[in-house]
Structure 1
Amino acid sequence: MKKTTCFCLLFALFFSVFSYAQTEEPEKSSFFKPSDTLNVKRKNGLLIAESALFLTSFVVLDKQWYNGNEKTSFHFTSKSNEFGLMDKIGHGFSSYKITRLTAKAFYWSGESEKKQLIYGAAFGLGATTGKEILDGFTKEWGWSWYNFGANFVGTGLYVGQELLWKEQRIQPKFSYNNSKSKGVVTNTMGSGYLDRVLKNYDGQTYWLSFNVNSFAKTDYIPNWLNFSVGYGVDGYLHNADATILPTRSKSLYLSLDVDLTKIKTKSHFVNTLLVLFNSVKIPAPTLEINSKKGTFGHYMYF
């Protein structure tokens, strides 16, 4: 449920934040090229587009996503591990990505480094925390302090690295393996593939991808080479499905990855796409350490 919202915000944000400045004359500057100095038109356009997106998304969510769910007074939930922590990790992932894309958008406008981080953190935390407030008024879910804390972890991961290193040496990534759902269809999933990607906890894997040369500082390791540590679960489709999938397990994954942001091209448009697609873990040979099945390898895992 929570990842559906966050991913929608993520992709909608990416495409909307750049839309305002399309009226710039092409001979004055390349559209995707970041401004060397503050471009007020770009900045104002970003503020308008993102604020409108921020407000509209919650109206749509309240009318569409929560439609059919019983509303109640604001309340809390004490559930912390019903999905094997996958929902919490999803919150952190989404908060990081929205924070980063927003900060990059304001970098494109020529805004100062300090304000890039302020705007990024404001929209990253605002989007994910606002969604949690809506949960608080829904009988089935409720406000979760664990989810709220995960939002800060995600945003803090981006902001902290910028303050410490001026670069993102550690990046959260995502992959999805539909075969892990074991063909079980539940009322928590939609019928489409995208619905399953966003709602099927069993098929999801979240990664922390470490850029090797950012730490090693060598001349012989490719700048794009990453080492990734992943986490996933099996049998956590939903509490109500425990009788269908009684055996639950958790897995730690060790794999290689590629940091697409380290691949620089002469095209600002291509560079922008690489930043976007860097959210996805590259398929690679992987070692899995499973709490039930032990340790084994995958020739290629996604």
Structure 2
Amino acid sequence: MNYRLYAFLLAWLLAVSTFAQPQPVMSTRPDPSGIRQGRFIGVVAGTAAFYTVTLLVLRKQWYKKRVPFHAFNDNREWLQMDKVGHAATAYCMSRGGYELMRWSGVNERTSILTGGLLALLFQSTLEVFDGYSEGWGFSKGDMLANAAGTALFMGQQYGAGQQIVTLKYGFRKTIFPQYRPNLLGKTTGQQLLKDYNGQQYWLSVNLASVVPVGPQFPRWLNLDIGYSGSGMIGGHDNPRVWDANGNEVRFERYRQFFISPDADLSRVGTFSPSLQRFIGTAQFFKIPAPTLEFSRVKGLRFHPWQVPED
């Protein structure tokens, strides 16, 4: 569901603001466990507050009418853009929780486990809410995508001690919301959350971590593979719509695939460890760069800066 991206953006803002704010000095005596008490208290309190407030807001805005618990299968909706979004959100929440724990002085293994469990707790709570909500339902596909995103983060951090592959989000405005503004969004802010045609999800691979390179090769250089869909004004099928002149407008639904360079700024060695963690958490958004696109409808296209409006 689109509200998960909304919830993640709130979590992202919480993480960024926590890194950016100075923490109170609790004591100059070192803690044997390595935990920075001021930071740790702030992170725990902020996380608990975010979890509680966000669920209350979502319950009021999205879950207005409760029905008996039920499940539904939405795996074929929106050309699976929703499922990719679930995985990306779970991945980024896991990483954000991990980075905050490490910044607070918590040890590596505990931070990995805490980040992953927090992401699954949040996403699973929303799935249970869906199960009691009219018009939606508990989705096994959503839960599988949530687990996949969390596993991507935890598996890499446990196994490699770094994130060789990351998941990122991109957006461009499209022509489709004007035909169904209540579903796809009336404003740009709403379209960021609702218009799957404008959303792109990127699998970002750090080249220096997967191919043999020399010492002069930029360690921050990534190669991204992106996915999106276009022509969608309904979940499964497109309803009939008309333009301002009364002419029927039809859109063909199709998948889009992209490849583009990117930068992992958290690997810039001149940055301090705290700044690297801040950047790693904040870098959820794909940096605009020259992009090669392929789709069965429009074939191969090159975009010199970013993917244009369709």
Q: Which moved more, 1:192-201 or 1:11-20?
A: 11-20
Are the aligned partners of 1:21 and 1:41 in contact in 2 as well (CA < 8 Å)?
Answer: no
Are the aligned partners of 2:197 and 2:230 in contact in 1 as well (CA < 8 Å)?
Answer: yes
Deviations 1:112-141 (A, max 9, x none): 111101110111111111111111111211
Q: Which amino acid aligns with 1:6?
A: A
Equivalent position of 1:14 in the other structure? 15
Cα distance in 2 for partners of 1:155, 1:289 equals 29
Structure 2: unaligned runs, 5 residues or longer? 242-249
RMSD of aligned Cα (Å): 2.6
Cα distance in 2 for partners of 1:221, 1:183 equals 46
- 1:54 is aligned, of 36, 51, 56, to 51
Deviations 1:64-118 (A, max 9, x none): 2334xx3211110122111111111111111111110110001011111111011
Equivalent position of 2:298 in the other structure? 293
How far the C-alpha of 1:255 sits from its partner, in A, is 1.3
Equivalent position of 2:232 in the other structure? 236
Cα distance in 2 for partners of 1:243, 1:206 equals 28
CA distance change for structure 1 residues 263 and 138 in 2, over 3 Å: closer, same or farther? same
How far the C-alpha of 1:192 sits from its partner, in A, is 2.6
TM-score (norm 1): 0.88
TM-score (norm 2): 0.85
CA distance change for structure 1 residues 14 and 227 in 2, over 3 Å: closer, same or farther? same
How far the C-alpha of 1:202 sits from its partner, in A, is 0.2
Are the aligned partners of 2:124 and 2:143 in contact in 1 as well (CA < 8 Å)?
Answer: yes
Equivalent position of 2:103 in the other structure? 108
- 2:217 is aligned, of 214, 221, 224, to 221
SS at 2:78's partner residue? coil
- 2:84 is aligned, of 65, 80, 89, to 89
Equivalent position of 2:41 in the other structure? 44
- The sequence identity of aligned pairs, in percent, is 29
Are the aligned partners of 2:7 and 2:54 in contact in 1 as well (CA < 8 Å)?
Answer: no
How far the C-alpha of 1:44 sits from its partner, in A, is 3.5
Cα distance in 2 for partners of 1:284, 1:266 equals 23
Q: Which moved more, 1:90-99 or 1:8-17?
A: 8-17
Are the aligned partners of 1:286 and 1:298 in contact in 2 as well (CA < 8 Å)?
Answer: yes
Equivalent position of 1:2 in the other structure? 3
Q: Which amino acid aligns with 1:232?
A: S
CA distance change for structure 1 residues 237 and 13 in 2, over 3 Å: closer, same or farther? farther
How far the C-alpha of 1:53 sits from its partner, in A, is 1.8
Is residue 2:233 matched to residue 1:255?
A: no
SS at 1:300's partner residue? coil
Are the aligned partners of 1:180 and 1:203 in contact in 2 as well (CA < 8 Å)?
Answer: no
How far the C-alpha of 1:258 sits from its partner, in A, is 1.0
Cα distance in 2 for partners of 1:262, 1:20 equals 22
Equivalent position of 1:23 in the other structure? 24
CA distance change for structure 1 residues 299 and 41 in 2, over 3 Å: closer, same or farther? closer
Cα distance in 1 for partners of 2:155, 2:175 equals 34
Deviations 1:152-179 (A, max 9, x none): 0111110000111100010101111103
Cα distance in 2 for partners of 1:152, 1:291 equals 31
Deviations 1:188-211 (A, max 9, x none): 244331211111100011010100
How far the C-alpha of 1:28 sits from its partner, in A, is 5.8
Equivalent position of 1:172 in the other structure? 167
CA distance change for structure 1 residues 6 and 90 in 2, over 3 Å: closer, same or farther? farther
Are the aligned partners of 2:227 and 2:255 in contact in 1 as well (CA < 8 Å)?
Answer: yes
SS at 2:284's partner residue? coil
Cα distance in 1 for partners of 2:52, 2:75 equals 28
Cα distance in 2 for partners of 1:260, 1:180 equals 33
- 2:145 is aligned, of 143, 146, 150, to 150
Residues 131-146 of structure 1: pairs in structure 2 closer than 5 A: 131-146=126-141
